[in-house]
Amino acid sequence: MSKKTLVSFTLNGKATDVAVEPRELLIHTLRERCQHTGPHIGCETSHCGACTVDIDGMSVKSCTMLTVQAEGSEILTVEGLAQGGELHAIQEAFMQEHGLQCGFCTPGMITRVYRLLQEIPDPSEEEIRYWIAGNLCRCTGYQNIVKAVQHAAKKLRGEAVQSSHALMAGVAN
């Protein structure tokens, strides 16, 4: 054990202090100390992106960042997306377009898409696939995730949008 360091950051708008060993990974701090268990761990080689959180305007794999590196940062996790109990457009879109099954990749996927749609508000299908390539999914085959991103993009641009799934069509959105 080496000495603990006090680290302060903003987590979903709330000032947060933790005392951690320098070797502690941010994903462990978020899950185990801050009880934000939406970000998941799917690998130990930085490939899967299940741990993706938004830090200072960047999508970051929180398994490949030390908590001490987050000093002074603004961190957003999937828990911070809904406002007043109302789903964020991206969360709503993943539901409408069946962009998840087991839900394990979903928090990382949604957090990544949150940043992507700010950088490219009207992405082509090719751009969507390219810019979510850091997030693996075992269930969906990605097809409905692409639809969810397109759905969310439209809604965020203020355009009318309906689920592309027959059974969901007509459900209030």
Q: Which residues bind another protein (CB under 8 A)?
A: 1-3, 5, 21-23, 25, 41, 44-47, 49, 52, 58-61, 63-66, 68-69, 71, 112, 116, 130-134
Q: How far is the CB of 148 from another protein (least distance, A)?
A: 17
Per DSSP, the three-state class of 173 is: coil
In terms of CB distance, is 8 or 64 closer to another protein?
64
Q: How far is the CB of 18 from another protein (least distance, A)?
A: 14
In terms of CB distance, is 96 or 107 closer to another protein?
107
Alpha helices per DSSP H over 44-139: 89-96, 106-119, 125-131
In terms of CB distance, is 44 or 125 closer to another protein?
44
Q: How far is the CB of 146 from another protein (least distance, A)?
A: 15
Q: How far is the CB of 22 from another protein (least distance, A)?
A: 4
In terms of CB distance, is 71 or 171 closer to another protein?
71
Q: How far is the CB of 56 from another protein (least distance, A)?
A: 10
8 Å CB contact between 152 and 113: yes
Sign of CA pseudo-dihedral 118, 111, 83, 155 = positive
Kind of pairing between the strands at 74-76 and 5-11 = parallel
Distance (Å, whole) CA 94 – CA 88: 10
Distance (Å, whole) CA 105 – CA 21: 28
3-state secondary structure 19-64: EECCCCEHHHHHHHHCCCCCCCCCCCCCCCCCCEEEECCEEEEHHH
In terms of CB distance, is 59 or 91 closer to another protein?
59
